[in-house]
Amino acid sequence: MVNSPFFHSFIQSLRPAYTPPSKTQISETLFWEETARVVRNTENELTQDHKLTLAVDGWTDFVKSLYAFNIITSDRRVYLHSLKDYSDQRHTAAFLTSEVIKVIEELGKENIAALVTDDAANMKAMRAEVSVKFPNIIGLRCMPHFINLITGDIMKHDWAAGLLKTCQSIVNYFSSHHRPNALLTQYRSEGIPKLCGYVKTRWYSAGTCIQSVLKNEEPLRQLAQKNKTELSTDIRAVVANRQFWANCEQLTAILRPLMSAVGTLESHSATLADCYEQLLHLAAAIEDAVTGPADFDAHCCAAFCRRWDNIGDHVYLLAYFLHPRMRGRGISSELFPRIARSAATIWKDFGNSKLSTMKLMSQIMKYKAGEAPYNLPFADEFMSATLWWQTTEDCMGSELKILAVQLLSITPHSAACERTFSILGWIHSKSRNRFLVRRLEAMGSCICTMFHIRPTTFI
């Protein structure tokens, strides 16, 4: 574009005395100078934070298998540390472990608070191996991905799967027939969304699909009544079926809290405490709000309980207990010994002595009892949980404060990697898939740093 005569004419009209650089100068000189500046600034900023979250995820494009290593600071700034091309490698747990260890050692093991990935078998094994080598680094699964798996299990029920299939057939019909779609647009009033489909790997989008069809009920009915010949017999039959719309409302009632949980846990302010709180909300919603066929309630409860058993919730439970707004609200007092043991285990993994661990136990007992200095008020709109803890001074020591700040600074998801892949998708298209990974990584780093991407930026 820089070499285009039209671009030169445009530049001349803005500033006649300016001569733009050539494309070679931009791509081979200015671009790498800017990349070096971005990398230098990133390294300087990361050295000031010792509670970093390392998020790792993979992406397969047209010809490559790429892995993104994102760094998220305690105040939720996101940086692309590196982009690796593993197209010629087997993605075994041992191989991924060696690659992650290289990144951790480069950043400094004392600066990494947590490693977050999805829960694929190789990623799960990799997290376990990294935790053995670096006990101070907490290995966590991406919590929105966990909610997504629960949604996928729920949607395996025949009734739910059949209803989703019908909704998707409506979406497919209008996306492939231009005249019915144009007429539906005319009947659709302001505020009613367009029809949208779902993605199998993102099961929460099933709720978006069903909701979009449900909100278009009235436009679809008008279209079926006033333009019968424009719709197929099957679509008219579905639109006229009142039970179909009742079923959509029933299924949406259970999918809505799941979708809300994913949105909450992908936000830039999400903490480990929010994960446990959302799981409690989901448990209550599944127990109270499930309607539909007689066996659907039991199916949803079984799907949730099966996933809950595999989550390993001790870290989330401890963070929930240590959040000054929650303080373990809604959980039974019998769980306190388990919370205390989790705190002691994590504190020992940080490399602390037995004496220091006993001081931690005394402080956590004072916190549970609401004794000073842990009786200060907390307000979400004026302060963060980490700020509350950072200003809490106990005469017995600062062990509990250090532990709480460490846990509540962790980002509980790897959505930053997904956002990075979305950005790379703008660049690494079919017409540009010959980009070298080094240049692609540099472009991604520049863009991520430019926007200081947070998990909610490109939803």
The reported pTM is 0.84
Contact 23, 3 (CB under 8 A): yes
Count the residues in the chain. 459
Residue 26 has pLDDT above 90, yes or no: no
Contact 159, 186 (CB under 8 A): no
Beta bridge mates, 109: none
Contact 343, 402 (CB under 8 A): no
Contact 210, 167 (CB under 8 A): yes
End-to-end CA gap in the chain: 30
Q: How far apart are CA 17 and CA 15, in angstroms?
A: 6
Instruction: Kindly report which listed range (5-9, 39-43, 213-217) carries the lowest average pLDDT score.
Output: 39-43
Contact 413, 270 (CB under 8 A): yes
Compute how many other C-beta atoms are within 10 angstroms of the C-beta atom of residue 356: 15
Residue 457 has pLDDT above 50, yes or no: no
For residue 430, the model assigns a pLDDT of 61
**What percent of the chain clears pLDDT 90, i.e. is strictly above it?**
50
The pLDDT confidence band at residue 431, using thresholds 50, 70 and 90, is low
CA 419 to chain centre: 9
* The two structure tokens encoding residue 223: 């279209």
> How far is residue 222 from each of residues 209, 219, 230, 231, 432, measured CA to CA in Å?
20, 5, 12, 12, 45
Residue 162 has pLDDT above 90, yes or no: yes
Residue 355 has pLDDT above 50, yes or no: yes
Residue 110: which H helix or E strand, with range? none
CATH 3.30.1780.10, applies to 49-141+414-451: no
Q: Helix, strand, or coil here: 372?
A: coil
Residue spans per domain, the chain: 49-141+414-451, 148-267, 314-408
For residue 452, the model assigns a pLDDT of 56
Of the spans 26-30, 213-217, 452-456, which averages the highest pLDDT? 213-217
Q: How far apart are CA 267 and CA 23, in angstroms?
A: 39
Higher pLDDT, 449 or 274: 274
What residues have CB less than 8 Å from 342, skipping those under 6 apart? 314, 315, 317, 318
Q: Helix, strand, or coil here: 47?
A: coil
CA 349 to chain centre: 27
Nearest to 265 by CA among 149, 379, 146: 146
Interval 32-75: pLDDT, tens: 888 888 888 888 888 888 899 999 998 876 667 889 899 999 88
Mean pLDDT of 67-85: 89
* The two structure tokens encoding residue 66: 């790429």
Which ranges of 88-232 would DSSP assign to H, the alpha helix?
Answer: 93-107, 121-133, 143-154, 158-176, 178-187, 204-215, 217-226
Contact 293, 159 (CB under 8 A): yes
Residue 381 has pLDDT above 70, yes or no: yes
